[in-house]
Amino acid sequence: MTEFQKMIRETVTILILCALLDLLTGGTLEGMKEKFSLLPGLLVMIPPLIDLRGNIGSALGSRLGSALHLGLVRPEFTMTEVLKINIFSSLFLSVVASASIGVISWLICLFMNLSGVSLCCLLFVAVFSGVLSGVMITFLTVFISIISFKRGWDPDNVTGPVITTVGDIITMLTILLSVVIW
């Protein structure tokens, strides 16, 4: 099998799998969104928060793909320096970028004259769900990259799509959890 055929086979499989997952979860998540309209300002924040987790995960996956191909990360579950740097920067960004999104959403709400929006609430939901989903998504990304590389699949073809799709579910659930706690 040529490299081209391998790319097509892996990519099409993953794309269709993710589209199916999307269809299955899309409806449920849409239903959950109704609950979020109870907390003022939260709806403004949800799309960018979901994108953010997917982006941190897919950037990590993309870096790990390169690092695995370059031989900087070995396909085994041992904490090397390179892996540690990649993991910690993702976790750090999960917290800091989530907090930034919380503040920006609050500013947008102020600008749009939305009443009853509290900065504390938005910040809590953004950061709490950010930490929780950040930890899960980061380790899942490392896991998927290493496993797919071990199995002879190119992590560049697999990790990004899988982590953005699964990340959506994880993020929505953690946002829901933080809203319930609040």
Partner 1 sequence: MEAYSFRRIVSELYFILLLSAALSFAAGFILQENLDKILKTSMLIALVPPINDMGGNIGCIVGSRMGTALHLGTIRPGRRGGTLRKNFWGGITSGILSFAATGLALLCLKPLGVPRWVAPVFFLAGVFQTLIAVYVSISLAFIAFEKGLDPDNVVAPLITSICDIGGVVSLFLAARLLGI
**What phi and psi, each to the nearest 5 degrees, are found at residue 28?**
-60, -45
Q: Return the residues of window 89-108 that contact partner 1 according to CB under 8 A.
A: 89-90, 92-93, 96-97, 100-101, 104, 108
- Closest distance of CB 132 from partner 1, Å: 18
Burial of 78 (0-12, 13-18, 19+ CB in 10 A): exposed
Site string for partner 1, 109-148 (x = CB under 8 A): ----------------------------------------
* C-alpha triplet 75, 79, 82: angle, nearest 5°: 80
Q: Please choose, from the candidates 100, 107, 108, the residue with its C-alpha nearest in 3D space to the C-alpha of residue 126.
A: 100
H or E segment to which residue 38 belongs: none
Region label for 170, one of left (φ > 0), alpha (ψ between -120 and 50) or beta (otherwise) = alpha
**What phi and psi, each to the nearest 5 degrees, are found at residue 122?**
-60, -40
- Closest distance of CB 151 from partner 1, Å: 17
Site string for partner 1, 19-38 (x = CB under 8 A): x--xx--x------------
| Chain residues that interact with partner 1, rule: CB under 8 A | 3-4, 7-8, 11-12, 14-16, 18-19, 22-23, 26, 44, 47-48, 51-52, 54-56, 58-59, 61-63, 65-67, 69-70, 72, 82, 85-86, 88-90, 92-93, 96-97, 100-101, 104, 108, 154-157, 159-161, 164-165
